Amino acid sequence: MTSAGNWNRENTKPKNYNADLSIKQAARILVLGSRDDPTMVRVFEDETKLPDQTTIVGVGTKRDDFDWDALRREPPTVILVTTKGIKDLLAELLTTPEFASSIQWVHAKSAGIEHCTSPALAASTVVMSNAKGHFSSTLAEYGMMACSYFAKDLPRLLQQQQDSNWEKYSILELRGATMGIVGYGDIGRATAKLAHAYGMKVIALKRRRVLDDDKDAYCEKIYCASQDPTALNTVCAESDYIYVAAPLTPETEGLIGKDQLAVMKSNAVLINVGRGPVLDEKAVIDALTMGRIKGAALDVFEQEPLPADSPLWKLKNVLLSPHNMDQTDSFQHEATDFFLDENLPRFLRGLPLYNVVDKAAGY
């Protein structure tokens, strides 16, 4: 099954397929999640409203939740992943002979797929897709807010207001500053779009180069990690704001560590919206404590919830949020809508799916 490209709620035409095409295959959906998930109401409230040839054959998060004999009689063709903690269960399904021959598509109702990846998934013949394209706008907005937080010294501003203190001070412009984006996927590109509008110079790092990189509308230069092992350090050294949006894979764990922090400017601000373990958290804490870099805006952490004894809570040069900067009231409902209204109709008609991921690479 080929890919229809990447879906984005700002740019992609809704329901961009021919609904008159006949249905070619059934979608027997096994949901790795909970019926109590409020963002899955459209799926569970009235299964008669699901598209033709679509049925739910099981719902659960652990092995004992399923009637395995019933699943063997009516094996799933689609697995919908809506929660974490299912990696081993998914791997078992994909390696069980009766199911390995029937499952055609795995869809994650999230952008990250590290909770799904395994050697079994990578070796399988199934197509996997995710929900990227829903979370990019708000994370891009957060990125610009984080830049402004440090450029305008918002903590000082709020303190002076609280103290009724009319004391002028100089601030920094974002215009002309360099934004370096580590992980130039959908989120990175949405952030580059806003940074470019602010008049920032944007550079980016991605794993693989494609032909259109030289024509990118927002980046002055795109570095390729697979072609240049020094590219990451170059981006870190040249940037005033380092925006990390890389997925979590074996290759990206600890990607930003002592070596990268050592080459950053003393006035650099590190922003992480990808996954916590992409940063070496101890090295970041040391750099912040010693004033090696100006500050950090962190929405994700190695351990979540962040332990109460973490030094990050007390550091004055840290903007900290509880992994909620993509958490709008509607974002998970939109991810459900994407599955039901965009990719599921395509699967039923044998059309290419949006957001097909590289199962082995992990994104």
Q: Which positions are annotated as active-site residues?
A: 275, 304, 323
Q: What kind and span of H or E run contains 94?
A: helix 87-95
**Residue 49 C-alpha from the chain's centroid:** 30
d(CA 181, CA 160): 33
SS3 128: strand
- Strands (DSSP E) along the chain, which ranges? 27-32, 54-60, 78-81, 105-108, 127-129, 178-182, 201-206, 221-224, 241-244, 269-272, 295-298, 318-320
Strand order from edge to edge, sheet including 221-224: 221-224, 201-206, 178-182, 241-244, 269-272, 295-298, 318-320
* Of 215, 263, 216, residue with least CA distance to 242: 263
d(CA 287, CA 295): 9
SS3 per-residue string spanning 192-237:
HHHHHHCCCEEEEEECCCCHHHHHCCCCCEEEECCCCCCHHHHHHH
Burial class (CB in 10 A: 0-12, 13-18, 19+), 296: buried
